[in-house]
Structure 1
Amino acid sequence: MENNSGKHLKKELGVFSGISLVAGMTIGSGIYYLGSYVLERVNMSMGMALVCWIVGGIVSILGGLCFAELGAEMPVTGGMTTYLAKAYHPLAGFVNGFSGFLLTASGSIASLALAAVTPFQEEFAFSEPVTKAIAIGLIVLFTIINLRGIKTAAAIQNISMVLRLVPLVLVIVLGVFAGKSQPDLSLATAFTTDTPPTFFNIVKVIGYATFASLWAYEGWTNLNTVAGEMKRPKRDLPLAIIISMGGIMLIYTLFNFAVYRIIPQAEVNSMIADGNIYLGKTAAFNVMGSFGKWIVLIGMAVGIVGTVNGDCLVFPRTYYAMARGGFFFKKCGEVNDKGVPAFAIIASSAMSIILVLFNSLQQLTDWLVTVSALLNLMAIFAVLIFRKKYPDMERPYKVWGGVPVIILTCLLFVVLLVNNFVEDPLTSAKGLIIIALCIPFYYIFRKLNGGMEYDTDKIDN
């Protein structure tokens, strides 16, 4: 379907571009610093931390399998915003998209841009204003690149995906073959006399730490957003999600194990206590000196800015879909001569720059996870709703394992969300407040739209 300017989104993405987008939007800054947060949440137990990285990967793969069914049966631009609107109510879709604009999507771009610069602060003594200025410059750069067309942005994403694997593979190889530390992988070290290893405490510890790892895995939801621009979405979309997320779980687990093989437990504890959370950089330095450290630093930067590029490519498609449905700024529903939603891209980047100016990396990361996990849970449950609501809809791919796997995935997300609310109620409450703030805007846009509901049928396929 054409939009009001007579132009439409181009179908130029194949399976490798899909894998690159998922991997590119997933392997960013999180793997380099979230390992420290996971360790803190398991009482510095290296064995339990590895378990949590594996559990986080399994949860993400299960979620990805459910999203693959949604994307294959409805390969439309807008992804989760469209699914929630059709499954529940137009308000649910709007809240997903507008909370993304206010925080989750724009905040992801902002936090990644800051994370690309943060590891270099120690080397060059950047002040906070300089750090933020460089982060804003990165956002502007990738905004310009994405305005030139999805083909250019996808090509950069493909190249950066390969380059970002270099520091991860380097640390993995160094740790496995040159690491001299023998980490204590006993799970018992995650517990104390005050928190004995009862079933409840095991679930609590694993759940709380796994929740921290989910931000490193976040990215598996975003390929569906550009399903309308894939050449063969019904085949390539589930394939890209499954291949990419399985590989990412393996890489993340091996990366953290390699770090433990290089840096002794006492040094890891001391680093994290001092606020030095980028363990991979120190691991490379311990084995290869400054050369290894700079390879990791540069690789980290390439990986993170590649994720910024992927975010700048994907997230504006949600605002485009919302504008086409009458529930976002009208100009964001237009496509330029390059076949991309230019105004949506500019609006996305502008909001990201505002968040860079007024928030820190830690604040942004804390706020993002709860909102994302809650909306992901709603989208996964939508698979069951669609099977009931649209039984005759063509489903070229269905979740492996059927309904039990979908229910299991939903239950896992519920356990993680409830556990995180108990352990960190303030951060969880902030996420719920962001969602609540979106609701008045829905009725404002509906009034401006002449009282009509969010119309997903107007979205460009």
Structure 2
Amino acid sequence: MVYMQQPNKKAEQQPALKKAIGVFGGSNILIGIMIGSGIFYIGSIVLQRSGMSMGWALSAWLIGGLVTLLGSLCFAELGAMNPATGGIYVYLSEAFSPVVGYMFNFQSMIIGGPGSIAAIAIALPLAFKSLFPMSNVLVKVIAIALIIIFTLVNYFGVDTGEWVQNFFNVAKILPLILIIVLGLFWGHYTPHLAVLNQHGSGSVVDYIQMIAFAVIATLWAYEGWTNLNTVAGEMKEPQKNLPRALILSVGFTTIVYFLFNLAIYRALPFSQIQHALTHGQLYLGTAVAQSFMGKFGTILVAITMALAMISSLNGMILAFSRYYYAAAKDRLLWKQFAHINRQYQTPDFSLFIQMLISIALVLTRDLDELTSLVVFSGAVFNMLSILAVPVMRHRQPNQLRPYKVWAYPWTVIIAVIAFLVILINNFVDDPLTSVLGLVVPAVGAVVYYGFRRFYQVRE
């Protein structure tokens, strides 16, 4: 059974999703999701995992960006070949089986999308808890309000959601550029960039394990690069604009992460960095801003973090809601999920159901556990999507491909190996969570066959 997203005559009378996203808007959706509050603290984790070697840490950022770029090139070929709303769901359904695509979609609908939305919504007020003391109840109230507000923003049209995304992205990038410029050009310290472990010499295997562990941390920062393909059906000229937006956004994000961390190494002495990390103070970007601008620097970083999280939240709400829509179009969810608002041309029912699930997750106590469950399964489906490139080239050799992966098949091979390292590392580190992360997709397979049987009986 080959996945096909072809509407029937009745569906053709229904309003369609509006094609309003261009290269700039598409790039901003991904940049907004990828560059969140993590830019201020994940660099510290990468440095710690690199044995406090600045050279290895910066190398890890470049390697992580390269791995992400290789994956995005594969997604560019798949998205340009089939620019349908649904992203990974579409590619896995076509390359392997509709049930594989639905397993991914199901975990994204139940935990992946709403869990990420809930987590970022809670993280935003928590980031200001030290400046403005607030109770846990107030934190959750603010988080719920944020989810409702930005769901409404995206309900009033994809172009409205795109405009909001563009505004907050530009607003958050400018302070980041300021910190980068101050650190690089006015910093007084020369970072030691030799790729040597601070603890002395080690074996080649030790270095490989160390850098692999550090790269995994950078991939957390790059997470979200798959989400533009989810709204490919709403892009203008997706065959051209989707690959361009993917390459531009991943390339820009890699440069920002690399320069931001280099600026930290230029602005702060190594002894201060070491002391801060030893005492659990991971927000080195804040220290840089304080060193140059005093209290104003602290306020500037706080504002930038808020803007970063808002743009990330808005991008997630826009992208994740399309999973429900794509499944309903294939009659693997109730038809209401495929409903398009006639006035605003957005999947209104999917947006509001996603909002309700996200709010329910905000109200739970174990959000961290919930969101961590999808890490392992997310890597599995990303790897399968990359493998869909050679599978589709074999199954559909004559299919028009407006864009083809550079350096094929090495691009696919390297990307798959990288994700295998992530899977193995996660499984060894936390086997129970990894196994549980596959339970939801397995339940999705049961739901898939249930819906197929339901519609067969009705027909």
- What TM-score do the two structures reach when normalised by structure 2? 0.92
Alignment of structure 1 residues 56-455 onto 2, 5 Å: 56-189=64-197, 197-337=202-342, 338-359=344-365, 362-363=368-369, 366-450=372-456
- Distance between the aligned counterparts of 2:263 and 2:457, measured in 1? 57
The number of residues matched between the two structures is 449
Partner-residue secondary structure (3-state), 1:420: helix
Check whether the contact 2:60–2:211 (CA below 8 A) recurs between aligned residues. yes
Percent identity of equivalent pairs: 42
- Distance between the aligned counterparts of 1:38 and 1:81, measured in 2? 31
Alignment match, 1:457? none
Unaligned runs of 5+ in 2: 1-6
Alignment match, 1:49? 57
Mean alpha-carbon deviation: is it higher for 56-65 or for 414-423? Answer: 414-423
- Distance between the aligned counterparts of 2:157 and 2:359, measured in 1? 21
Change (3 A) 1:446 1:405: same
Which string of whole-angstrom CA distances, capped at 9 and with x for unpartnered residues, describes residues 80-130 of structure 1?
111111111111111111111122222221222122222211111233222
Partner-residue secondary structure (3-state), 2:273: helix
Check whether the contact 1:47–1:185 (CA below 8 A) recurs between aligned residues. yes
Unaligned runs of 5+ in 1: 453-461
- Distance between the aligned counterparts of 1:219 and 1:409, measured in 2? 16
Change (3 A) 1:446 1:198: farther
Change (3 A) 1:181 1:220: same
- Distance between the aligned counterparts of 1:314 and 1:162, measured in 2? 19
Change (3 A) 1:148 1:254: same
Change (3 A) 1:366 1:202: farther
Mean alpha-carbon deviation: is it higher for 286-295 or for 128-137? Answer: 128-137
Residue 37 of structure 1: how far off its partner (Å):
2.5
Partner-residue secondary structure (3-state), 2:296: helix
Partner-residue secondary structure (3-state), 1:12: coil
- The letter of the residue matching 1:333 is A
Change (3 A) 1:286 1:15: same
Partner-residue secondary structure (3-state), 1:373: helix
- The letter of the residue matching 2:348 is A
- Distance between the aligned counterparts of 1:235 and 1:122, measured in 2? 46
Check whether the contact 2:111–2:371 (CA below 8 A) recurs between aligned residues. no
Check whether the contact 2:377–2:437 (CA below 8 A) recurs between aligned residues. yes
Check whether the contact 1:207–1:420 (CA below 8 A) recurs between aligned residues. no
Residue 347 of structure 1: how far off its partner (Å):
1.3
Residue 371 of structure 1: how far off its partner (Å):
2.5
Residue 432 of structure 1: how far off its partner (Å):
3.0
Which string of whole-angstrom CA distances, capped at 9 and with x for unpartnered residues, describes residues 300-338 of structure 1?
211210111111111111110001111123311111121
Residue 191 of structure 1: how far off its partner (Å):
5.2
- The letter of the residue matching 2:138 is V
- Distance between the aligned counterparts of 2:330 and 2:121, measured in 1? 30
Residue 361 of structure 1: how far off its partner (Å):
6.4
Partner-residue secondary structure (3-state), 2:104: helix
Which string of whole-angstrom CA distances, capped at 9 and with x for unpartnered residues, describes residues 196-249 of structure 1?
632322222122221122121122211111111111000111011111111110
